[in-house]
Amino acid sequence: MAQNGDNHGKNGVKFEAPQPHSVKEQLPGIQYCINSPPPWPEAIALGFQHYLLTLGITALIPSILVPQMGGGNAEKAKVIQTLLFVSGLSTLFQSFLGTRLPIVVVGSYAYLIPVTSIIQASRYSSYTDPYERFVRTMRGIQGALIAAACFQSTMGFIGFWRNAVRFLSPLSVVPYVTFTGLGLYHLGFPMVNYSISF
């Protein structure tokens, strides 16, 4: 036991505090750690792959939702612009204030099912003007997302998610993600066919 703040024991033998193992020793399947980036050619290829994925998500979510809301191409363009702006802003916040991981924050497919249920709500079917229906539906979606974000932030700050995630395994998350994707298949696949043929 150290006395008077020095690192010497009773017999004058110096001891050091145990050091943690490196991440590669703790997780043997990891190719690159945060402090060991890939070589530049591979980093550029991975960055381009991430860019394509991000662009696809940013364009696909409005392409699925905006026509159901009564919006046209102009409204779809505004929603894509908004998603790009908010993605950039969120990425800057995450890069400088958050976890500082080299990722781009984009829209999430997790919200597609709740947003689709809001769009299909009977309260918005009474509007005959498509633009007014789009505006009213967009306001309802924004309010729901603000409430959901406040709830998620509160659960994160009080530590509930940290305790709940211990009970989740990949075996319970993968079926959820798979069924979400299969449930949206009928919305996305006809649009792929339409964009290829025209």
Note the pLDDT tens digit of each residue in 94-122: 888 876 776 778 888 778 888 988 999 88
- Report the C-alpha gap between 101 and 107 in whole angstroms: 17
Q: What is the DSSP letter of 8?
A: B
pLDDT tens digits for 32-78? 666 677 788 988 898 888 888 888 888 888 988 999 999 999 999 99
Whether 138 has a pLDDT exceeding 60, the answer reads: yes
Contact at 8 Å (CB) between 84 and 117?
Answer: no
Q: Are 91 and 120 in contact (CB under 8 A)?
A: no
Task: Identify the pLDDT of residue 2.
Answer: 47
User: What's the whole-model pTM score?
Assistant: 0.63
- 50 and 104 part of one domain: yes
Q: Is 79:141 a contact under the CB 8 Å cutoff? A: no
Dist CA 66 CA 141 (whole Å): 12
Lowest mean pLDDT among 79-88, 146-155, 175-184: 175-184
Q: Are residues 58 and 148 in the same domain?
A: yes
- Is residue 195's pLDDT more than 60? no
Mean of per-residue pLDDT scores for the chain = 79
| pLDDT score, position 132 | 93
Q: Among residues of the chain, what percentage have pLDDT more than 90?
A: 20
Q: Is residue 129 part of a domain?
A: yes
Token reading at 96: 């400088």
179 shares a domain with 160: no
Residues 6+ apart with CB under 8 A from 184: 64, 109, 112, 113
Q: Percent of the chain having pLDDT more than 70? A: 74
Domain assignment present for residue 63? The answer is: yes
Residues 50 and 103 in one domain: yes
Q: Are residues 114 and 159 in the same domain?
A: yes
Q: Collect all residues with Cβ–Cβ distance below 8 Å to 141 and sequence separation of at least 6.
A: 115, 118, 119
Question: Are 55 and 153 contained in the same domain?
Answer: yes
Task: Of 124, 132, 52, give the one whose Cα is nearest residue 60.
Answer: 52
Q: Whole-angstrom Cα distance, residue 66 to residue 115?
A: 11
Query: Structurally, how many domains does the chain consist of?
Result: 2
31 belongs to a structural domain: no
Q: Examine residue 143 and state whether it is found in any structural domain, yes or no.
A: yes
In a domain, residue 148? The reply is: yes
Residue 29, amino acid: G
- What residues have CB less than 8 Å from 119, skipping those under 6 apart? 65, 68, 69, 137, 141
Please indicate, yes or no, whether residues 65 and 159 belong to a single structural domain of this protein.
yes
Has residue 6 been placed in a domain? no
One domain for residues 154 and 93: yes
Q: What is the pLDDT of residue 29?
A: 67
Query: Do residues 121 and 63 share a domain?
Result: yes
For residues 129 and 191, state if they share a domain: no
Within a domain: 9? no
Among 14-18, 126-130, 134-138, the minimum mean pLDDT is found in 14-18
**Residues spanned by the domain of 61:** 38-165
- Per-residue pLDDT at 25: 57
Same domain for 100 and 74:
yes
- Residues 83 and 153 grouped into a single domain: yes
Q: Note whether residue 27 is domain-resident.
A: no
The SS3 assignment for 94 reads helix
Q: What is the distance in angstroms between the CA of the first residue and the CA of the last residue of the chain?
A: 76
